[in-house]
């Protein structure tokens, strides 16, 4: 009776716990902590979406159970979004399902398609559910490079030749959390050709599809001819419309995978609260100025953050997408690893970041910095970071000329 439960034994200690505890202790002492460690949008949900929620929740008929696969209107709205945004035509009845955010959908699909001992290919570093959704389901995970280039493709080829049993599924996530890498359609074409040849499922996490800053507009893997033979894609309204707490997203693509997820969910939930789904329809079908405004806001924050870090002597690549900067630990602190560095930065500068180790062992030489505070708070954090760096002997560069700014993270 004292032995740890089997599935819990497969989960390592929560990497972020010690940093979170230190953050809570500092706040309990009355210290002002600027938290750039969470991927939690700080902007309000657009008013027209909130108004639709209020209108719908005032109808008592909306208080009943919903349906686990999502109301028809929302599945049609998702199909409409894919048609407008990616020129991908989906059948809302067989190729779309509503999820409680992309995280829930990924975890439940992992449970639906995994047999004990299966081998799953997951980028490292990567968002934790990409790996642990399958580990909880009983699979073994093999790490591959997180970069959308030849390194990943060569690693995939090696994994197929040298893994026993042969891999059954591959996770991809572009724009990536935490690395902020973007992939183009040509890369997806190579990935789809590989997966079809080797008969491997692809699960694509596209949660940051609408947060991009350069010329490369993130594509959908489903835009590749033949992708729906082997691929399903998850996305969410959390970041696009600042609806993180609403817990609504969707999966789209391969009918067999959508059917498997639908069947699993039919045993586990009754779907998102109907007023939330109705409001989600308004988000997808309504005016999209709010999406462009949010994108511009994150770009402004990105520019302030990267310029400020550079002037402090911390060279950080400028992300071309997502709401994060993936920051190499400065050289004087590199040997201590991401958890110890994150705690030191918190203690001495009052700035919280996410240790890269939480996203996989190959992320331990980085920290993730979120664009989740306004520019005033970011500049406040940057002043503290600059003082922290100077106290440890890190000299600022002689010039903050924009021509010398860190290069983009796009491979």
Side-by-side strand order, sheet with 366-370: 324-328, 366-370, 354-355
- CATH code of 6-44+289-390, in short, is 3.90.1150.10
> Which residues, other chains included, contact 288 with Cβ-Cβ below 8 Å and sequence gap of 6+?
none
**Are the C-beta atoms of residues 265 and 257 closer than 8 Å to each other?**
no
Rounded Cα distance between 344 and 350, Å, is: 9
Q: How far apart are CA 282 and CA 53, in angstroms?
A: 9
Whose tokens are 């999209």? That residue is: 288
60-286: in CATH 3.40.640.10: yes
Query: So what's the pLDDT on residue 399?
Result: 61
Quote the pLDDT of residue 9: 80
Residue 405 is predicted with a pLDDT of 46
Instruction: Please return the burial class of 65, using the count of CB atoms within 10 Å of its CB with bins 0-12, 13-18 and 19+.
Output: exposed
Name the residue ranges covered by the structural domains of the chain: 6-44+289-390, 60-286
- What per-residue confidence (pLDDT) applies to 409? 62
Per-residue model confidence (pLDDT) at position 410 = 57
* Residue 65, both tokens: 């159970």
**Strand-strand pairing, 249-253 and 96-99:** antiparallel
Question: Which is it for the CA torsion 82, 88, 93, 97, positive or negative?
Answer: negative
CA distances from 200 to 144, 171, 227, 229 (A): 15, 10, 11, 10
**Residue ranges of the chain whose pLDDT lies below 50:** 400-406
Q: Bridge partners of 324?
A: 370
Counted residue by residue, the chain has a size of 411
Is 92:76 a contact under the CB 8 Å cutoff? yes
Integer Cα distance of 354 and 370 in angstroms: 8
CA atoms of 140 and 215, how far apart (whole Å):
37
Q: What's the rounded Cα separation, in Å, for the pair 225 and 231?
A: 11
The conformation of residue 272, written as its DSSP 8-state character, comes to S
pLDDT for the residue 11: 80
User: Can you give the pLDDT at residue 13?
Assistant: 72
Reference 276, options 74, 39, 42; nearest CA is 74
């Amino acid at each position: 009776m004292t032995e740890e439960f089997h599935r819990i034994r497969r989960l390592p200690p929560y990497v972020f716990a010690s940093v979170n505890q230190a953050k809570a202790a500092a706040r309990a002492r009355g210290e002002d902590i600027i938290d750039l460690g969470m991927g939690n949008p700080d902007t309000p949900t657009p008013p027209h979406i909130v108004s639709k929620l209020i209108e719908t929740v005032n109808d008592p008929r909306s208080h009943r159970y919903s349906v686990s696969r999502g109301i028809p209107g929302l599945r049609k709205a998702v199909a409409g979004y894919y048609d407008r945004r990616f020129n991908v035509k989906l059948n809302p009845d067989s190729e779309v399902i509503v999820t409680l955010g992309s995280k829930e959908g990924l975890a439940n699909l992992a449970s639906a398609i995994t047999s004990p001992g299966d081998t799953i290919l997951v980028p490292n570093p990567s968002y934790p559910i990409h790996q642990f959704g399958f580990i909880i389901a009983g699979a073994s995970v093999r790490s591959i490079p997180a970069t959308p280039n030849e390194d990943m493709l060569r690693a995939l080829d090696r994994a197929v030749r040298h893994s026993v049993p042969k891999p059954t599924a591959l996770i991809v996530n572009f724009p990536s959390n935490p690395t902020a890498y973007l992939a183009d359609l040509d890369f997806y074409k190579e990935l789809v050709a590989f997966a079809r040849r080797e008969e491997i499922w692809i699960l694509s996490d596209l949660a940051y599809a609408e947060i991009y800053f350069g010329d490369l507009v993130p594509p959908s893997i489903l835009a590749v001819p033949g992708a729906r033979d082997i691929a399903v894609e998850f996305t969410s309204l959390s970041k696009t419309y600042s609806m993180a707490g609403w817990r609504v997203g969707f999966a789209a693509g391969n009918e067999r995978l959508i059917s498997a997820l639908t069947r699993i969910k039919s045993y586990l939930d009754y779907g998102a609260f109907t007023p939330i789904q109705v409001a989600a329809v308004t988000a997808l079908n309504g005016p999209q100025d709010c999406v462009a405004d949010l994108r511009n806001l994150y770009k402004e924050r990105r520019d302030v953050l990267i310029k400020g870090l550079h002037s402090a002597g911390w060279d950080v690549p400028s992300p071309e997408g997502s709401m994060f900067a993936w920051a190499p630990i400065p050289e004087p602190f590199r040997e201590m690893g991401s958890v110890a560095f994150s705690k030191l930065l918190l203690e001495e500068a009052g700035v919280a970041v996410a240790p890269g180790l939480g996203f996989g062992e190959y992320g331990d030489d980085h920290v993730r910095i979120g664009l989740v505070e306004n520019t005033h708070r970011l500049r406040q954090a940057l002043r503290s970071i600059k003082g922290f760096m100077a106290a440890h002997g890190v000299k600022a560069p002689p010039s903050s000329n924009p021509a010398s700014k860190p290069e983009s993270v796009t491979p």
